[in-house]
Structure 1
Amino acid sequence: MPRVETYVLPVGTPTPTLEELESGEGLRTLEQAAAKAGGARNALETVGPAAGYAAKSVKPSLVGPALSTAAGSAAATGSAALEYPDPPRSMSLAECKAHMGGDAKYYLKSRFSVCTALQITQVWTSTRGRVGASNLTFYVRGSVPKDTSRTINFDWDVTDFTKIGNPPTSGLMYTVKANLPQTWPANAKVHYGGTTPNAKSYDQLARMRPAHFTHTVTVNPGQGNSGRTDLVAAIYEPTISGKLPPGWLGDGKSGKPFMLAPRWDAAPYLKNSTGGGTPTKRGAASFAYLGFLHYSTKATAPERGVAQHIKTAYTQPSRTKPTNPGKRVAGQDPDHPLHRLFADTVRRDRNRTLSIADCKRYFGPKYSENNTKDCDEFPFASTYEGAAEFEYTGDVMKNNYSVLPVNKKQNGDAGTLLKSFYAKNRIIDGLEDGFLVQIH
């Protein structure tokens, strides 16, 4: 009886030649690649409830390029209001392809533009021996096109069709079911639109050129938790399965090989909190992945002094104040992100009070040098990891932060950029979100 063996593989896995299939070496290579692709299907950078839904990858995802605040921008020269750069909200298929392959399971261009992909290869064996092999790749790009949109577009592309020999792929049918199997809260109502590459044969998809489909997911406001944030978190987890032609034995591989983590909020302190007067349009969508704040030490960067301070806190913590031999400040890696502190103004003020006291203690009561310098603290006073964290959380060490007098204007500009970063990246208050600070 003819048989088909199906492998779910990392993108770019070479298709064995007929000679490799005949010798058995090709199958061993595919089995090894399939084992490598299995296991964790949740990005390391996932935050919120989705972070615990499935095993996380131990390797960081590829992330978007640094957003420059320097380079002679209008804001840097003082001719325009200082703002953090807008995060990208779209991604071409070519971009997604360029960042997939090998160990890369996810490309997180921003919190509003992400992609993932998988390759499916079938080896066909007839009663007379090897018939050949066929493979294709599913790419999925998630995007939130506008900063006032509650609709997320999931663009599906089926490409990279390759056949070895002459397998009967006209009868190989693919079924793709994409939904949100889990939401937090569980009773949130979800609206779907568009299509996925569902109920199409290999040959039908190959002839479409392009085989492109757009699936949309919308969650209305007023259904969330986390108090005023009105947060709905979810899992976008497609099931992809193949149905073999009549008379062929084997497993078409029905499974859920990856997941994405969309979310929706209507926080009153973020953009579109009123929906422009339309309550059903309040808030916006994003993806529940860590944000990346980029500060620069370049001479033209308005935040330069603060960036230099953070770089020292990361790379030479023993040289920073207050003294702490075991100091390792948060914000450097996905296991120790920063969390925005917005609602608790008392705690924010306490962070600031302790920082100023340390500046006076270590740099003298006249550390401001005639009001030309400010006491800069990192982690920021607007985070839960600020100077007072040990007073509010019993399992953290004291003095796990850094203070330093820095140029007053640069400190103010860094604060302005931070506020703009929070707003443009929809960083919400609390431990269900997070961000990292990268210094360039």
Structure 2
Amino acid sequence: MGQTQFVVLSVGTIAAKSREISFEYHFTYMAKTGSVKTAALFIKTSPKITQKWPAAAKVTEGGNVPGSKSFDQLAKLKTFKHTVKAAYKQGSEPDDTVFAVYEPMISITPPPGYTLQGTGGKLFMLAPRWDKATYVSRDDGAAAFSYLSTLTYSSKTGAPEKAVAGHIKKAYSTPASTKPANSAKKLPGQSASKPLNQLFRDTARRKKNRSQAIKVCEQYWGKKYSQNNKYQCDEFPFATTYQGAAQSQYEPAAPKNNFSAMPLVTADNRDAGILLGQFMTKNRIIDGKDDGFIVKIK
């Protein structure tokens, strides 16, 4: 009898320091051919949280989701909004964290007497997260999307992080040429399967990461490598990650000497560290193995 088509776009946004996630749905490219009775062709959008951890956490929903509307009605409506929000003090410790799965569905009901090829389905799956990690914000926490963030460092001339970017590039491309010596060295942080994880709370472990890296700088460049603080010992993976230089001392299954350390100009090293801290805060990278990031050099 004919055909209809439509494209649904959903744009998820989170305002700065907000616990509310807003999904804006857009019905676009709506067209028909033949004699389809589009006034009686109904389309229902059902956005919802399908799972939560902890399961007892409550998520409030809002917006103006229209329910079941005809093809013609949606062509006029075009856009609507759905919001989700989890209050604090109901998540898992230590960061009051609530993880969830957001999974909207489209269901289509044909006009009476018509048959339909395809009756809808799930649009996509997103993973919202709410936390109150005080080291990334000093308020009531905020929402974020649980996707793998990418820290991008530039190796171009003039970039403040150029020296550190060059170190990481070398560590990734020719790891066996870096110090300490390890012919089987393969550094994490290059893929989703082996990301880097922020280490914040365990200050002793962070200090141990630093001291292990400094030992390497002293071993290969001498105890006076800093030249009165002109140089700092740069380490990768970062000392503020679980994959830092001392990882094998805390995780027996982790490979030994699976890091790189070398002296870099102090100002260059500090500039890269500032960018790393800003990246952690802006992307709400929380402590532990439930969150992670990768590093790219451009």
- Whether TM exceeds 0.5 here: the answer is yes
What is the alpha-carbon distance in structure 2 between the residues aligned to residue 144 and residue 272 of structure 1?
A: 17
Aligned to 1:60: none
What is the alpha-carbon distance in structure 2 between the residues aligned to residue 418 and residue 288 of structure 1?
A: 19
Deviation at 1:312, TM superposition (A): 0.7
What is the alpha-carbon distance in structure 2 between the residues aligned to residue 306 and residue 401 of structure 1?
A: 14
Deviation at 1:173, TM superposition (A): 0.5
| 1:304 partner letter | K
Aligned to 2:242: 384
Structure 1 residues 193 and 212: CA distance shift in structure 2, 3 A: same
2:54 to 168, 185, 191: 185
2:193 to 327, 335, 353: 335
Aligned to 1:308: 166
CA contact (8 A) 1:236 1:261 kept: yes
2:39 to 155, 170, 184: 170
Which sits farther off after the overlay, 250-259 or 286-295?
250-259
1:221 to 64, 67, 88: 88
Deviation at 1:132, TM superposition (A): 2.5
Deviation at 1:333, TM superposition (A): 1.4
CA contact (8 A) 1:183 1:232 kept: yes
Any idea what SS the aligned residue of 1:170 has?
Answer: helix
Confirm whether residue 246 of structure 1 aligns to residue 112 of structure 2. yes
**Residues paired across the two proteins, number:** 298
| 1:247 partner letter | G
Structure 1 unaligned blocks of 5 or more? 1-130, 274-281
| 1:268 partner letter | T
CA contact (8 A) 1:244 1:252 kept: no
Aligned to 1:24: none
Deviations 1:280-304 (A, max 9, x none): xx11111011111121112221111
1:431 to 271, 289, 295: 289
1:212 to 60, 79, 91: 79
Aligned to 2:71: 202
Deviation at 1:197, TM superposition (A): 4.8
| 1:184 partner letter | W
Aligned to 1:403: 261
Matches within 5 A, 1:115-126: none
What is the alpha-carbon distance in structure 1 between the residues aligned to residue 65 and residue 76 of structure 2?
A: 16
Deviation at 1:140, TM superposition (A): 0.7
Any idea what SS the aligned residue of 1:213 has?
Answer: strand
CA contact (8 A) 1:156 1:197 kept: no
CA contact (8 A) 1:298 1:304 kept: yes
Aligned to 2:13: 143
Any idea what SS the aligned residue of 2:76 has?
Answer: helix
Deviation at 1:205, TM superposition (A): 1.4
Deviations 1:289-347 (A, max 9, x none): 11111211122211111111011111111211111112111111111110000000111
Confirm whether residue 268 of structure 1 aligns to residue 138 of structure 2. no
Aligned to 2:21: 152
| 1:222 partner letter | K
What is the alpha-carbon distance in structure 1 between the residues aligned to residue 116 and residue 25 of structure 2?
A: 26
Any idea what SS the aligned residue of 2:143 has?
Answer: strand
Confirm whether residue 296 of structure 1 aligns to residue 154 of structure 2. yes
| 1:152 partner letter | I
What is the alpha-carbon distance in structure 1 between the residues aligned to residue 275 and residue 198 of structure 2?
A: 14
Deviation at 1:413, TM superposition (A): 1.2
Deviation at 1:256, TM superposition (A): 2.3
Deviation at 1:398, TM superposition (A): 0.8
Confirm whether residue 322 of structure 1 aligns to residue 191 of structure 2. no
What is the alpha-carbon distance in structure 1 between the residues aligned to residue 209 and residue 119 of structure 2?
A: 53
Deviation at 1:426, TM superposition (A): 1.0
What is the alpha-carbon distance in structure 2 between the residues aligned to residue 163 and residue 323 of structure 1?
A: 66
Deviation at 1:251, TM superposition (A): 5.8
What is the alpha-carbon distance in structure 1 between the residues aligned to residue 36 and residue 117 of structure 2?
A: 16
2:229 to 367, 371, 374: 371
Structure 2 unaligned blocks of 5 or more? none
